[in-house]
Amino acid sequence: MNRPTEDSLSKIADILARYPANRGSLIPVLQDIQEDFGYLSEEAIERLAGLMEISANEIYGVATFYTQFRFTPPGRHRIQSCQGTACHVRGGRKILDELEHRLGITAGQTTADGKFDLERLACLGCCALAPVVAVDGKVHARMTAKKIPSLLSQYPDKKGRKDT
């Protein structure tokens, strides 16, 4: 995902206009900005600070308190590794370790090429199918560490090529 443009940043004023003009609106405004842009860029926060007449530091202070906000562009594919009780008992940690090894990142990070985000979740709600990994919302049941290379190879790069 590219940096926001001046045109895209003008959407921030439109988002802000949907809410009461007070500090109590900051969290829902940040949620909407992240929904539109995929993350909270430095440019978006600076623009919001100017429009709300509060400091960018105050906005960062609020946004960094909540884990729902991200400050880097998301990967093209979102991988969620379930670590709930059923998945944990059936090898969920080994699966997460293998994902981290194969992707070269830890949970909460995005690969350098921007292809994948990796998240560690407490529960995906698919306990009967444990252990599970979801990619872009599609659940992959009864996952094993040995199946990870095959799973990752299903997702093409920017040019439509699949990993080999």
| Domains recognised in the chain with CATH numbers | 6-65 (1.10.10), 77-152 (3.40.30.10)
pLDDT at 159 over 70: no
Q: What is the pLDDT of residue 21?
A: 81
Note the pLDDT tens digit of each residue in 80-138.
999 999 999 999 999 999 999 999 999 999 999 999 999 999 999 999 999 999 999 99
**What is the pTM assigned to this prediction?**
0.74
Rg (CA), the chain: 19
Whether residue 48 contacts residue 17, with contact meaning beta carbons closer than 8 Å, is answered with: no
Tokens 């379930």 sit at which residue?
82
Structure tokens, 108:
């909460």
